[in-house]
Structure 1
Amino acid sequence: MDQADVRLLKLGYYQFVPGKDDYWTYVDHIRKSLEGWQKLGERYNVKLCYHTHSGLNMGGSCAALAHLIRGFDSRFIRAYIDPGHMWMDGEPFSLGLAMIKEFLSIVGLKDPTYVGVKKNGEGAYYPAFTTAGEGMVPWSSVFSELLRAGYDGPLSIHAEFETESHQQYISAVKSEVVYFRQKRDIALAEAEVNP
């Protein structure tokens, strides 16, 4: 990776199994694994980025991610946060960012929503992803918070929504790029006016 000049690497996920896994024992297990990753990161000059992902994934929120990465060398063990997944888990972006900003290397961009359904006579929902600006994330606030925290690293557009055709998908992805650039640029302009 060093020869290929790869400097950021996204780590996979650890799934929590209710009734089987003990949370703190699993945290210890993952931290032991991260010790090995940190050694590899140092050896090859690579930042290993742990992605926040909603659901039963360990480190799924910034609060849970802090349990995993706090105390590691932030030159090598990093955070890859995802405001969409944070929102789905109910974690306020500004609070989550405050917890892990010293580790932040990548921000994922996708817009989630929930679809309500009835299941066995009870309310239920399932998560879905939609085009940027149509979901639940307050993107203006996200970009303002990132600027306030001094973040100027990579933004990764995930485009996990569905369309009826490949051509519609390509068009929608182009619109995603335009949308997120506009939100970023507005936040930059507002920061210059109100430093």
Structure 2
Amino acid sequence: MPVSRRAFVRGTLAVAAAPLVTHAAADQVATGAITIAGPSSPLLFFSKHLGELAWPDLGRAVREMGFDGVDLTVRPGGHVLPARVSEDLPKAVAAIRDGGSRVVMITTGLTSPGDPAARPTMAAARGVDVRLLKAGYYRYAFADVRKELAEATTQFRGLVQLAAEAGVVLAYHNHSGYIGAPVWDALGMIAGLPAGATGLYFDVRHATVEGGEAGWRVATQMAAPHLRMLAAKDFYWDKGRDGRWRVVDCPIGEGMVDWKTFAAEIRKAGFTGPISLHVEYEPGGRTPAEKTDRMREAAARDRARLAALLG
């Protein structure tokens, strides 16, 4: 789907001229924001972890847990299915607002400008004034990593063109194990693209997995000029009985992420965008209802810990 340079630039200028999260200023519905540098960063909850809840119930749960809003899954198996995004995203946003919360960003599975859901997702997001989107993931086959990175870069750049046309920002996530996990690769993917249409969804947990003792801090500083959103989660390495080392997810503040130093780095960067909290570990519970309750309790605890560590 070719896009003219004129359309690309026109769309990019439209994005750059408009506020990224207008609801953040208009709707002070919760008190979970974190003041890092200047205005508070809205603290969001990633809706994947309450995927069993209907939209209004999700809004109520997120508000009751103390979060400012929702990072909503708009991808296969998510709270909004890509094939129905034009019809359902407005309904989901309205229902979540009726529940007392709001949608600040959406997490998509988009990896190709040829995806039939790409344009509708971006148009629907702009239509409900949610302008921050996270892209999907590209995998290394480890047959020819240079070629695989180049192919992923071409696909992602095509999506950014569509984002510029739609007036939204499509950010890339440095997820360990995927293309772009080393932040310098992700930076190469967005190099030369307009800042008003793309950037990084930076994840210090994954940067620490990939970067070890100091690499994560180098990655944070390299990513700093391009930050659009942050992900918050924690982990540690564990050696199993088979002698192999594994990444184990854990509550915020109980793992290997150096939150104090990270807070200093993002404060220095002047970051004021949204922070999406993830509970990737298993919080317990035997029945579906108990699992939902334990998830909500874990999320509220992690929210409080994160606010203390970053504030």
- Greater Cα offset, 22-31 or 104-113: 22-31
What is the letter of the counterpart of residue 207 of structure 2? M
* 1:46 aligns to 2:168 (yes or no): yes
User: Which residue of structure 1 aligns with residue 87 of structure 2?
Assistant: none
- Greater Cα offset, 158-167 or 129-138: 158-167
* 1:99 aligns to 2:222 (yes or no): yes
What is the TM-score when the length of structure 2 is the normalising length?
A: 0.55
* 1:25 aligns to 2:147 (yes or no): yes
* 1:178 aligns to 2:178 (yes or no): no
User: Which residue of structure 2 aligns with residue 15 of structure 1?
Assistant: 139
Measure how far apart 1:118 and its partner are.
4.0
Question: Unaligned 5+ residue runs, structure 2?
Answer: 1-124, 286-290
* 1:70 aligns to 2:191 (yes or no): yes
The 5 A counterparts of 1:125-140 are 125-140=245-260
Q: For residues 94 and 134 of structure 1, what CA distance do their matches in structure 2 show? A: 19
Measure how far apart 1:90 and its partner are.
2.0
User: Which residue of structure 1 aligns with residue 13 of structure 2?
Assistant: none
Measure how far apart 1:67 and its partner are.
2.3
Secondary structure in structure 1 of the residue aligned to 2:217: helix
What is the letter of the counterpart of residue 130 of structure 2? V
User: Which residue of structure 1 aligns with residue 282 of structure 2?
Assistant: 162
8 Å contact kept, 1:93–1:142: no
What is the letter of the counterpart of residue 35 of structure 1? R
CA offsets, 1:53-84, max 9 Å, x none?
A: 112x1001212212222221121121011100
8 Å contact kept, 1:108–1:158: yes
Larger RCO, structures 1/2 (Cα 8 Å, 6+ apart):
2
What is the letter of the counterpart of residue 177 of structure 1? R
Q: For residues 102 and 163 of structure 1, what CA distance do their matches in structure 2 show? A: 35
What is the letter of the counterpart of residue 140 of structure 1? K
What is the letter of the counterpart of residue 26 of structure 1? E
- Higher normalized strand content (fraction of residues): 1
Secondary structure in structure 1 of the residue aligned to 2:244: strand
What is the TM-score when the length of structure 1 is the normalising length?
A: 0.86
Q: For residues 154 and 28 of structure 1, what CA distance do their matches in structure 2 show? A: 29
Aligned length: 179
Q: For residues 85 and 112 of structure 1, what CA distance do their matches in structure 2 show? A: 9
Secondary structure in structure 1 of the residue aligned to 2:126: coil
Q: For residues 220 and 237 of structure 2, what CA distance do their matches in structure 1 show? A: 23
Question: Unaligned 5+ residue runs, structure 1?
Answer: 186-195
User: Which residue of structure 2 aligns with residue 193 of structure 1?
Assistant: none
Q: For residues 146 and 46 of structure 1, what CA distance do their matches in structure 2 show? A: 23
User: Which residue of structure 2 aligns with residue 111 of structure 1?
Assistant: 234
8 Å contact kept, 2:210–2:216: no
CA offsets, 1:113-153, max 9 Å, x none?
A: 1221243xxx3111111011111001111111100011111
Q: For residues 139 and 35 of structure 1, what CA distance do their matches in structure 2 show? A: 32
8 Å contact kept, 2:253–2:306: no
Secondary structure in structure 2 of the residue aligned to 1:90: helix
- Greater Cα offset, 97-106 or 41-50: 97-106
* 1:5 aligns to 2:129 (yes or no): yes
Secondary structure in structure 1 of the residue aligned to 2:130: coil
What is the letter of the counterpart of residue 88 of structure 1? V
